[in-house]
Amino acid sequence: MRCPRCQHNNSRVIDSRQADDGRAIRRRRECEKCSFRFTTFERIEAAPLLVIKKNGEREEFNRDKILRGLIRSAEKRPVAMEQMEQIVNHVENRVRSLGENEVSTNLIGEYVMEDLVNLDEIAYIRFASVYRQFKDMSVFLKELQDIVDKAKDTSNNENDA
């Protein structure tokens, strides 16, 4: 493994442990030349998964794109990086468990929003506003009203219990 600091090709593994619920191995490494320590992840190489974009183009599934969208939507919100990575892992697992070679961005976005709405409502609205491309205020207000109604239902159910 190449050192990110000095580009030397040899490093030694200091520690290995499971990550992502056993679907990956996290390795702490140390460069044999400059002693810089860094982390790598080893995953099973899955069959390529293509994403069908809204304009009909196809591109390879990229979990980093989902994470970047989550980071933008959760900016200045009390959402930990670990929580966002869990959403990405959950979405990727759901998509891959479909057993399809191609999946639409619509489905991926819906999966992200299902997880995000329970984590942080503001981040959810931010993500939804970009993902759903709200054309006018009425669509935006309807989405807000849906969240308010869901919160009322949840609190009413808790009060009844």
List, for residues 1-51, the tens digit of each pLDDT value: 899 999 999 999 999 999 887 888 999 999 999 999 999 999 877 678 999
Residues 63-91 pLDDT 10s: 999 999 999 999 999 999 999 999 999 99
CB 11 within 8 A of CB 30: yes
Residues 84-121 pLDDT 10s: 999 999 999 999 889 899 999 999 999 999 999 889 98
Closest CA to 88 of 102, 117, 68: 68
CB 108 within 8 A of CB 95: yes
Examine the pLDDT at 143 and tell me if it is beyond 80. Answer: no
Compute φ and ψ for 5, nearest 5 degrees: -90, -55
Q: Where are the beta strands (DSSP E) in 20-161?
A: 24-31, 37-43, 50-52, 58-60, 102-104
- Check residue 20 and give its pLDDT: 80
CB 81 within 8 A of CB 128: no
Please compute the mean of the pLDDT values over residues 47-58 and round it to a whole number.
Answer: 91
Cβ neighbourhood burial of 88 (10 Å; 0-12, 13-18, 19+): buried
